[in-house]
Amino acid sequence: MMHNSHDDTESEEILSKTRRKKAMHELQAIGEQLVELDSKQIAELDLPEILVDAIHEAKQLTKHEAKRRQMQYIGKLMRNIDAAPIQEKINYWGNRDIYQTAWLHQLENWRTRLLADEDSINELKQHYPEADIQRLRVLIRNAQKEALLQKPPKSFRAIFQELRTIIPEKKVTE
């Protein structure tokens, strides 16, 4: 059976067209992420002015079809720049939020445990020897009294603030 070189060229063209289309969709997806960012983050990315203008215009649009066309335009503009560093920065911002949320949950869990179980303060001291245990004991007693007397949770909040100083937030590296 003979191989027709015309068929090979045609299949390569289809493949490269598919690849180009996929790349365009990826750029458009990054463009959509850019439209979700605030002005400060957009400025931090140091994008070409024409792209920044297109992003701000897309933020203003409310009609679906107009916004879709604007997103295609942003995708087209992005073909002229290296999108990898932009995607890295967007991913960094997303992860930073995830880590901060996890840290805040960790603080909440410690506060709940400290209020519910007297022994948990010793465990906290083992993990964080620099903790001011006396201050925490006073805050815990006061928070329990506030809850009992249905007073504003001043000490309850103060425990959280104290834990913020004791338990470091794990930084996400840029």
Among residues 60, 81, 102, the one where a domain terminates is: 81
Pair 133, 125: CB distance under 8 Å: yes
Same domain assignment for residues 19 and 71:
yes
Per-residue confidence band for 89, with pLDDT thresholds at 50, 70 and 90: confident
Structural domain boundaries enclosing 41: 5-81
- For residue 172, what pLDDT is reported? 41
Lowest mean pLDDT among 13-17, 127-131, 139-143: 13-17
Predicted confidence (pLDDT) per residue in 58-72, tens digit: 999 989 999 989 999
Pair 121, 112: CB distance under 8 Å: no
pLDDT at 6 over 60: no
The number of folded domains in the chain is 2
Same domain assignment for residues 77 and 100:
no
- For residue 10, what pLDDT is reported? 65
pTM for the model stands at 0.51
Same domain assignment for residues 94 and 162:
yes
Per-residue confidence band for 16, with pLDDT thresholds at 50, 70 and 90: confident
CATH number of the domain bearing residue 151: 1.10.60.30
Among residues 51, 81, 111, the one where a domain terminates is: 81
pLDDT at 87 over 50: yes
Same domain assignment for residues 92 and 154:
yes
Same domain assignment for residues 76 and 95:
no
Does some domain include residue 173? no
- For residue 174, what pLDDT is reported? 38
Does some domain include residue 171? no
Among residues 55, 81, 107, the one where a domain terminates is: 81
Does some domain include residue 174? no
Mean pLDDT of 127-140: 94
* Pairwise pLDDT comparison (57 vs 17), residue with the higher score: 57
What is the C-alpha end-to-end distance of the chain, expressed in Å? 57
Same domain assignment for residues 9 and 70:
yes
Per-residue confidence band for 56, with pLDDT thresholds at 50, 70 and 90: very high
